[in-house]
Structure 1
């Protein structure tokens, strides 16, 4: 039986999913894709999980598709048909997902970073949309990447395949924070601690709101947002949150220790 390539652990409401395939730079092999899919599903379905952290072992976060498996293969065999489902799992997860990068990301790996809600990288991490340099198109990852990037930067980096650093990744909207290596875990914990303070249903609804397309009819948009606001204001979480604020206590959903 093959060794596990993706590990899953839950502690204090945080599900940590770890890519552990350093021999191929955590490339998206068939086995890794299957295990990652399963663990993301488990995190979403576990009511005890409040936040998901996606991290890795080895010097590289994710190098993209496993090109050794892809050589001479059809699209389905390459995993191209499976990969959108993984990006969609991350993008639509009702639990906030934080990417923790202690090293570089390339191609599909950058798509994964973009699909996460928050991304924290070490300052030495690098990124590249290297697809055009091997004769392919960054089509699938564009679905999650383009909403994050400044348009000029997207054109430049998609077309040139140039490698860029974590500072540039922050500047163009791909990454939230770039920190020295010794501060990576503290910065990830800062985000997960803040996310754990949010009410689960409110977080899920806020994610959906952030991702939905807005009509050009402002009246209709305001009506929809008023309905959403009223639903949660008068709902169990909203009322608990208001009561906790008035009573100067933590609401019931805040994990012990926060």
Structure 2
């Protein structure tokens, strides 16, 4: 996100551009993983204030269209077949929490801070709620959704909103390490894993879900990557999807 003058606020244009970028990059076979970051002092300030002023006088249909656009972006990030890392270096507010919750991994600087400020504006965090609730859990959401208080990076880590904390100067190194881990995994298997998580999470453990997981593993073993993974293990070599890299940390 590159709107540092407005703290990467989510304007209709930015929402549209992000949605398109995730669609295109998610389907690009040359892309193995994505990093969502923000330029400037903030990761994302949430909704664009100018657009919020306009929406106060806008008809319901226009407000529904804006809500639909954000909901589409969040779902696009959530269902992206590639691993997505949120790199959170600074303040992450309201809709920004929805974005990081839709990502697969969230890495934050110790100085980052978070807040769900909607109730202080007479609003609710509606479109982001499915993703944020999955990240922090219902119990934590009862506090942070209602109060709008600032959430420190340490508290965000404690409640599961972010996976890891780093010193500000170390965040890029940690992101690179995560990217290197993704480069060792089968792209097809990672995409299938993401679908598996979405389909299995929250389901009761009974005959239907057990049968589904059996079928999915059997099908995955028969895929080209499933066969290549087993063959490379038995032959004590790296699988074909592992790309050799030089020692240049900027590569």
Q: 2:45 aligns with which of 42, 48, 63?
A: 63
TM-score by length of 1: 0.89
Q: CA deviation at 1:197?
A: 1.4
Structure with greater strand percent: 1
- Other-structure match for 1:232: 220
How do 1:80-119 residues align onto structure 2 when only pairs under 5 Å count? Answer: 80-119=67-106
Change in 2 beyond 3 A, CA 1:20/1:225: same
Measured in 1, the distance between the counterparts of 2:12 and 2:181 equals 34
C-alpha RMSD over aligned residues: 1.5
- Other-structure match for 1:22: 4
Matched, 1:44 2:26: yes
Number of aligned residue pairs? 240
Q: Deviations over 1:109-128 (max 9, x none)?
A: 01001000001010000000
Q: Secondary structure at 2:123's aligned position in 1?
A: coil
Q: CA deviation at 1:28?
A: 0.5
Q: Deviations over 1:170-209 (max 9, x none)?
A: 1111101010011101111111111121111111111111
Q: Deviations over 1:201-249 (max 9, x none)?
A: 1111111111125543612211110111111122211110111111221
Q: Structure 2 regions of 5+ residues with no counterpart?
A: 247-251
Change in 2 beyond 3 A, CA 1:235/1:216: same
Q: Is the 8 A contact 1:121 1:177 kept in 2?
A: yes
Measured in 1, the distance between the counterparts of 2:204 and 2:104 equals 26
Change in 2 beyond 3 A, CA 1:215/1:35: closer
Q: Secondary structure at 2:42's aligned position in 1?
A: coil
